[in-house]
Structure formats: C-alpha cells, structure tokens
Amino acid sequence: MYFKELAVKWRPLLAAMIGMSCGISGVSFTVNTMGPHLIEEFNWSRSQYALVGALGIFTIVAVLVAGRLVDMVGVRRTALIGFVAGPCSFLVLSQMSGDFYLYLVIHTAQTLFCMTTTSTVFTRLVVQHIAKARGLALAVAASGPALTIATAGPFFNNFVADHGWRTGYVVLAIFMAAGGAIAIALTPPSDAPKKTPPMRKAAKKDYGFIFLSRTFWILASGIALANTSQFIATSHLNVILIDNGMVHNEISGMIALFAIGILVGRLICGIALDYFSASYVSAITMALPAVGMFLIASAFDSYSVLASAILMLGLSYGAEGDVISYLVARTFGLNIYGTVLGLLVAALSLGSSAGALLLSLTLQFNDSYAFFLILAGILALIGSLLFLLLPDNRLPDTKTDV
C-alpha cells in the first residue's frame, strides 16, 4: 500500500518532479558553472561576485507571493509565470556585455518571477494527492533537480568550457521552456482550489493564525540559522574548490558527487520522515552542512576530504526540502500549505542572503573563505538544535484529491 500509492498517483508526482527539474532550482547549478568564466572575462572581483548570493533577499518577496498565489489559483497558473520569464532571462544574459550591475538586475528579475517554478509551488501537488507515502513522494519529486544536476551538471560544465557561456545560456533557455511546458501539461486540472474566499479576509485570518504559532517561529529561526551558507552551493562552490587546489576536470566530478548526495539525502530523509520522529530527523539533517563546511575550512585539502565535505553538503541540501515541506503539511495542513511554505522559504532566503553579505565583508578583510565557513558551520549547529523543540503532534491525515 505504501509504494502502491505512488504508482496510482503518478501524474501529479511526475508533474512536480519535471517542474522542479526544469525550474529555477534545477538549473541553479549553472550559476556555479558560469561564475569562473564571467569573473575571468569581465575582470569582476571575488568580493564583488559574492554579492550575487545576496540576491536571495529578493526571494523573500517572490516566494511569499508564489506561496500565497498557489493556494489561491493552483499550481498550473502559478508555474506558468516562471516558465515564461525564466527562458527570457537566460536569453538576455546570453547577450551581456560585462556590466556587473546589469547582471545583478537581470538576476533579480529572474529571482522574482522564477520562484513560481520551485518546490514552494510544485510540492503542493504532492501533499494534495499523496498521504501515506508523503515523505517518500516529496523525496521522489524533489529528486528531479538532483538528477538534473547529476546528469546535466558535468556535461554543462564541459560544454560551457568548450562552447562558451553565451551559448550555454541559450541552451538553458530552451531546456527550461520545454520542461516547463511538459510539467504544466501533466498537472491535473483539479489542482486549483475549488472555493476561494475573498483575498483580504482570508489573508487576515491565515496570517494571524500562522504568526501566533510557536511551531512556525521555531521552524523559521532554525531554517534561517542553518542556511547562512546555503548560497555557497549554488554560486561559490566552484570558486572555493579552485581555491583549494582543484582543477576543472576534478570539479566536474564534485558536481556529480554533490548531486548524488542531494538525491540520496532526499530519499533517505523522505522515508525516515514517514517512519521516525520528524523533529529528530530534521535536527540531524540541518546539522550536516556544518560538518561539510568545517572540513572545507580545515587545512586538509586532499581529494577524499573535499569529496566527503561536498557529499555532506549534498546530503543536507537534498534532505532539507523534504523536511520543510513535510513539516508544513503535517502541522498546518493543505489550505495554507503554500502560504506557510513561502514564509519559511523566505526565512531560508533571509538567512542565506545575510550569509552572502557576511562572506563579502569577510573577503574584503581576508581573501579566504575559511573564517566564513567556520562561522556558518557554528550557526548551522545552533539552528539544527532548535528543531528538537518541535512538538511531535501532527494533524490527522487529510483526505487527498484523486
């Protein structure tokens, strides 16, 4: 019965998986790939490029809108916004002339519109249609971006090295547009809420309930602290590995290892959430990045040590999405799922953006990543302990839509 539910509800599961694979999360690794090439061609400084991570601050607005929008109008209409804006932004980036501030503007616009192609939107399909195997289903759906990174990441890294970053951006535009069309076509027509109350009245009631919830504040604080280094995985990993003596061919292998870690982390965490205490599973998950960052910051730069660190980051990065989505569905239910998830992803973005600003500041005084990695690791440990304060009570399983 546990696995049969996934086979019966294959359509929303596949739609969510493809949507996240071809959405902005699935192609986020490309910022890492493009980074060294853009820095070299346009002579941008590393402290200057570190500000790219700070753009995550704009996801706070974007994810709040996306989360609320998916609760009000459904997945299909919400996701369409990002799958039109995303390919357009990549085509514009392919024509860039080197103005760093224009680059920031384009990325900001991409962030604002493409949050509608992330897990905040697409995991609603999973929690709406699947109940008993919800943890595993969330893991399977969210494994899409990891599979994309594992298969396309090394290929894309080498492709950009051979054909240039401009051609790379054009390929990304085509990939995102095609995948988005398939995901939207697979989304069941019943994904939209059947009855929508007046927006102002509903917002007052829903946000009032959320902000008075102790569980919400525990989740928000823990997620923000545990993710002060989250931007590292999407925009600075290549630069840090090069700083530790790795060459491009070795980095391609690390990209694949990171993706494998994401995939394994999602699956193990998803099953664990269905069978064990969510608070303990969450605490362990959120503590893993600290181990990886401490290893990278250490004086041990052997391939095996760095590979272990990257694997830890991947495991946590993958499991984290399962944890947040599962806890929101368990505690707050389906009616305000997107709204709460949007708020928590906003907390994650706030923590990540604060971390990016801190990194930029530390690099101005000391051209090394080590101090930041140690500090971020300590914050991640503190954040992980907060999840032990979560109550183990859960809402009764709500009836899913067919």
399 lies in some domain: no
2 lies in some domain: no
pLDDT of residue 195: 55
The total domain count for the chain is: 1
Interatomic CA distance for residues 68 and 300, integer angstroms: 46
Interatomic CA distance for residues 127 and 386, integer angstroms: 25
163 lies in some domain: yes
1 lies in some domain: no
- Residue 139's alpha-carbon distances to 126, 145, 250, 384, 397, in angstroms, are 10, 11, 28, 20, 18
327 lies in some domain: yes
pLDDT of residue 400: 45
Measured in residues, the chain has a length of 402
Write down the residue that tokens 């992330």 correspond to: 118
pTM as predicted: 0.75
pLDDT of residue 309: 87
pLDDT tens digit at each of 402 positions of the chain? 677 888 888 899 999 999 999 998 878 767 777 878 888 888 888 777 777 766 767 778 888 999 999 988 889 999 999 999 999 999 998 888 888 888 888 888 888 899 999 988 999 999 988 888 888 999 889 888 777 877 777 788 888 888 888 998 999 999 999 999 999 999 987 666 655 555 555 778 888 999 999 999 999 999 999 888 877 766 677 777 777 777 666 777 787 788 788 888 888 998 998 888 888 999 999 998 888 889 888 878 788 888 888 888 888 887 887 889 999 988 898 889 999 999 998 888 788 878 888 888 888 877 778 888 888 889 999 999 999 998 765 544 444 443
Helix/strand/coil for 352: helix
Interatomic CA distance for residues 365 and 363, integer angstroms: 5
Alpha helices in 23-133 (DSSP H): 29-42, 46-49, 59-73, 75-93, 100-114, 119-129
397 lies in some domain: no
Q: 43: which DSSP letter?
A: T
402 lies in some domain: no
Query: Residue 132: which domain range?
Result: 7-192+199-389
Report whether 239 contacts 294 (CB < 8 A): no
- Residue 368's alpha-carbon distances to 207, 243, 247, 363, 377, in angstroms, are 42, 8, 18, 6, 16
278 lies in some domain: yes
Contacts 24+ apart (CB under 8 A), 107-111: 107/52, 107/55, 108/55, 108/58, 109/85, 110/24, 110/85, 110/86, 111/24, 111/55, 111/56, 111/58, 111/59, 111/62
Which tokens sit at 357?
């600003």
pLDDT of residue 381: 93
CATH number of the domain at 215, please.
1.20.1250.20
Report whether 248 contacts 157 (CB < 8 A): yes
Calculate the CA 104 to chain-centre distance: 20
Interatomic CA distance for residues 76 and 91, integer angstroms: 24
